[in-house]
Amino acid sequence: MQLAFTLFKYFPFGGLQRDFLRIALACQARGHGIRVYTLSWQGEVPAGFEVLTVPVRALTNPRRYEKFAAWVHADLAKRPVDRVVGFNKMPGLDFYYCADPCYEDKARTLRGPLYRLSGRYRHFAAYERAVFAPDSRTEILMISALQQPLFVKHYATPPRRFHLLPPGIAADRRAPPDAAAIRAGFRREFGLDDGENAGDLLLVQIGSGFKTKGLDRSLKALAALPPELKARTQLIAIGQDEPRPFLRQIRRLGLARRVSILKGRDDIPRFLLGADLLIHPAYNENTGTVLLEAVVAGLPVLTTAACGYAHYIEEAGAGRVIPLPFAQRALDTALAAMLADATARGRWSANGLAFAARADLYSLPERAADIILR
């Protein structure tokens, strides 16, 4: 079959983008043709992919997305395909990969009534309704069980159209046999002392969208550490985002020597093996793939219950989850306790590795391909 995939933006370091690529490659491996419609593509194009960068411009994102959808539909009318798989909400999809939370619910719970009079709201609400309305034919690939009831609440979407997928953690995130050697080399490279009782401690926060991921919360928690513990602790944040607001916060909190912000990169497994703790205090997160990437690498996790995958941290016994409603003091206290307790971090690490060996955390691309192609 000929398959068309649509996504507004592709870059190598986004979770949605990595999921798209692995699902498309899984379909290609079964002998099907891959055509991709996107507004921008960064990075290499896989062999055999037909990537079309849609040539539309507009002053606002909603108008640009409308032009994108119209261009794609016109091209598909001239060159039909067997399946259209969307990774952003838009009309005309056969399948939608649901990586984003329910927009209508956020508009009604996090915004005032006047917001729903805006053109932005009308656009995104209409595109979400095109996917989830009862009379839509779009099948929905769900990656978070927490979101399904919200879509049903607002749209009365028939349950038969939802298909819940397992996580899809890439094999290169699992701790390899030489993990200890990789960790030692990483810590030498970054000048981290591994002293048994009072060595350096490294926090990592990984993921594009620093605001949503709660980097501001992480910085506050780091600043609130007891002085002796703070003097031993560094934070590296990695992601594709505008760092300037957080650089200002770093200066205000006196953390200039404690924090580094790096752009997205392709050697994340080294950071997962070299760090002492993943901190991920997200405001909202449909899943939080990086949580499971840390678990399978043996890195303890501190996160919030706002993440769809936070329940895995509790099931695995691989760290701590801050409950909702969120309280900064709870995060501050938990971070200090986790950094001060090397024995507990060792236990969380071992629990995570054991969980990685027995749980299905890896088959998302194959299961998604099964549903798309059947």
* CATH number of the domain to which 272 belongs: 3.40.50.2000
The arithmetic mean of pLDDT across residues 9-21, rounded, is 93
Q: In sequence order, which ranges of the chain are alpha helices (DSSP H)?
A: 15-29, 61-78, 103-109, 119-132, 148-155, 179-189, 210-213, 215-223, 227-231, 244-252, 268-274, 289-297, 310-316, 328-340, 342-358, 364-373
23 and 163 belong to one structural domain: yes
154 and 177 belong to one structural domain: no
Q: How many domains does the chain have?
A: 2
7 and 104 belong to one structural domain: yes
Range of the domain at 256: 171-358
User: Which residue's structure tokens are 């992601």?
Assistant: 239
pLDDT of residue 289: 94
Instruction: Record the pTM.
Output: 0.88
| pLDDT at position 193 over 80 | yes
| Per-residue model confidence as pLDDT tens digits over 307-350 | 999 999 999 999 999 999 999 999 999 999 999 999 999 999 99
280 and 160 belong to one structural domain: no
Give the whole-angstrom CA distance, residue 356 versus residue 171: 11
The dihedral built from the CA positions of residue 330, 236, 365 and 12, taken in this order, carries a sign that is: positive
Give the whole-angstrom CA distance, residue 339 versus residue 332: 11
The arithmetic mean of pLDDT across residues 157-161, rounded, is 97
The arithmetic mean of pLDDT across residues 211-231, rounded, is 97
132 and 111 belong to one structural domain: yes
Amino acid at 107: A
29 and 123 belong to one structural domain: yes
88 and 181 belong to one structural domain: no
60 and 196 belong to one structural domain: no
Give the whole-angstrom CA distance, residue 230 versus residue 222: 7
pLDDT of residue 73: 98
355: which 2 tokens?
């969980």
